[in-house]
Amino acid sequence: MNDAHLIQKRLAFITDCVAETRQLGRPERLDSDTVQQRFVEHTLQFAIQAMLDVAFAIAAAGNLGEPGDNRQAFDGIAAAGWITPARRDTCRRMLAFRNIVHRDLQVDVAILQRIVTPDLDDLLVFVRAIRARLPEDQARPDGNGSRPGN
């Protein structure tokens, strides 16, 4: 699998995670429904991991240097212009959330509810920023160069 294919596959997965969270997630039930809480936590964890995979793939494909840790992967793609410094900071905060879930630590339900409501779009903003920088023939998973809305 080449880097462009991996990147597109991960971007599509992030988009699917957001859609599934919107369709199946029930933010109003997170404080009383363990199944809902686990679904949202882990769906977000998977989406954020895919975001991290994209950052590492871009770093490798663009010869941006080997990131020393996960946060540096976002630093590298921001320095190369793939994402803005503000988006880098958002990605780093999302990574901190992923680390909490990954380590099976207690997640504050209020934070989870905030992510699912206004902050969920941050994942899609990342997807759009990366797709905007991909070469035209790699902008879509089908490789035909078409973009949404075109």
**pLDDT tier at 109, thresholds 50, 70, 90:** confident
Terminal alpha carbon distance of the chain: 27
- The tokens of 112 are what? 């989870």
Q: Angle at CA 118, nearest 5°, toward 106 and 31?
A: 35
For 53-73, write each residue's pLDDT tens digit.
Answer: 999 999 888 777 777 788 888
Q: How far apart are CA 116 and CA 110, in angstroms?
A: 10
pLDDT at residue 94 above 60? yes
pLDDT band at 148 (very low <50, low <70, confident <90, very high): very low
| CATH number attached to the domain at 3-136 | 1.20.120.580
Residue spans per domain, the chain: 3-136
pLDDT confidence band for 42 (50 / 70 / 90): confident
Task: Report whether 91 contacts 83 (CB < 8 A).
Answer: yes
Output the CA–CA distances (angstroms, integers) from residue 36 to 29, 59, 77, 109, 111, in the order listed: 7, 35, 33, 11, 14
- What pLDDT sits at residue 145? 39
Of 4-8, 16-20, 48-52, the range with the lowest mean pLDDT is: 4-8
